[in-house]
Amino acid sequence: MEEQTQVIKEPRTPFPGVFWAANTIEVLERFAYYGIFIPFGIYMQQLGYSAGELGIVQSIFLAFSYGIPIISGTFADKYGFKKVLIVSYLAYLPSILLLLLTKSFSGIALTMLSIGLAAGIFKPLIAGTVRAVTDKTNKTLGFGIFYQMVNLGASFGPIVMGKLRVISWDVAFMAGAIAIGVMLLFTIFFYKEPKREIEGVTLGQKFKDIFIAFSDWKFAVFIVLLGLFFWLPFWAFFNLCALYVDSNLDTARLYLEIKSVFGTGFANFLAHDVEGEKRILGETIAHSGYIIMIFQFFVSQIVEKFKAIPAFLSGLLVAAVGFGFLGYARLASPSFLFLGLFLFAVGEMASSPRIQEYITWIAPKEKAGLYMGCNFIALLIGSALSGVTFTSLYGVYNRMGHPEYLWWTAGAHLLLGMLLISLFVKKAGEFKERSE
């Protein structure tokens, strides 16, 4: 009789309460962050500021949002996640409330700097919590849930804030402040400090380690290429798409086209009245979060079958085509906007997680965290430059009467990035990924 063996699958460890508390906090924070950031270009335009001035504010805001996480994890190790979370809220809450009081350019710039600082302190802490309370049986599901919570907050924030800013921008900002207040109370009463291994690295040692990592010229050039040719146009999309839709597309026609497909109720949910005419609010649709929530699993299943660099470059190509349709939506039917948004989101889903995973796996095992910290430097380069380059360029194209050129320029920028990264990998050779 033939003996049969059965592979016993290790049961999945249940998630502790702090996992769910952390994910609830993440939804609220992304709600406030993207609820303010996505429509901010519309806000500054309505105050009468130029695209160049908007770009300066965006660059300052994003530089702090993605620069501070490089060092904030060190403070979390020293003082604990819960205390540093509360510190981030104490910076967040008054900064958002200051938006109710200041309308000067310097006041807005300093306020958004403060919000970016608070967001930067907060950013690595929830992902760090998820990492600390998951194990090999549940980490994939855990980070999948976390990623969905990020997109849930990032999708509903702009929708709710968009509807509220029709009443008053102050009401919209108050909603963001209330979300932070709820996070503070939720953290005090429900967030329990997770047990974890402390990295124990001082701030000076962290900078020294980053310097050592960047002394590898090949890795340093790769990080700079990612910053300039992936993250830079990536953030141009989030900086400008809502403003472009709201200001440059026929949003009354867009309302009718959405109404004809999805019905009056859904179209009204995304619209507001302008002199008796229904118009779509740009920020309610001009982002990728809701598309990622639906399609991330399917795209990930396809992308994981391919090697990292080809998958990443394919994502850039799809995103570039998406940019092309964003521009075409102004010349043809505004409904082409949705094809552009979908393709950009697919490109983002194919490229962003894959390249971040790749950077982790090319690192020596004991330096995976350090290399991911270096990925934040790529993010910092691209995000900090996005406002002063692409947002300013949008202003130039807008004055020419051709704002759609912005998206074709961004698409060409991605295609150039594909070429340069391909040449770099061909000449310098691919990095060797760890097998375990």
Report how far residue 63's alpha carbon sits from residue 276's, in angstroms, rounded to the nearest whole number.
Answer: 41
**pLDDT attached to residue 390:** 98
Residue-wise pLDDT tens digits, 291-308: 999 998 888 888 888 888
Q: Which two tokens stand for residue 313?
A: 């470059």
Tell me which residue of 279, 281, 283, 271 sits closest to 242, measured CA to CA: 283
Residue-wise pLDDT tens digits, 410-419: 999 999 999 9
Report how far residue 66's alpha carbon sits from residue 85's, in angstroms, rounded to the nearest whole number.
Answer: 16
**pLDDT attached to residue 198:** 63
- 196 pLDDT more than 80: no
- 311 pLDDT more than 70: yes
The amino acid sitting at 82 is K
Band of the pLDDT at 69, cuts 50, 70, 90?
confident
Report how far residue 84's alpha carbon sits from residue 223's, in angstroms, rounded to the nearest whole number.
Answer: 28
Mean pLDDT of the chain: 90
Task: Please identify which residue in the block is written with the tokens 């979390």.
Answer: 76
Other C-beta atoms lying within 10 Å of the C-beta of residue 193: 13
Domains of the chain: 15-200 (1.20.1250.20), 203-436 (1.20.1250.20)
- 4 pLDDT more than 80: no
436 three-state secondary structure: coil
Q: Which two tokens stand for residue 435?
A: 């097998």
**pLDDT attached to residue 200:** 61
Report how far residue 292's alpha carbon sits from residue 332's, in angstroms, rounded to the nearest whole number.
Answer: 26
**pLDDT attached to residue 3:** 47
Pick 77 or 403 by higher pLDDT. Answer: 403
Task: Please identify which residue in the block is written with the tokens 């510190």.
Answer: 87
Residue-wise pLDDT tens digits, 141-171: 888 888 889 999 999 999 999 999 999 999 9
Residue-wise pLDDT tens digits, 384-395: 999 999 999 999
Tell me which residue of 403, 414, 411 sits closest to 51, measured CA to CA: 403
**pLDDT attached to residue 216:** 81
Bridge partners, residue 272, by sequence: 279
Alpha-carbon distances of 97 from 92, 114, 407, rounded to whole Å: 9, 11, 34
Band of the pLDDT at 434, cuts 50, 70, 90?
low
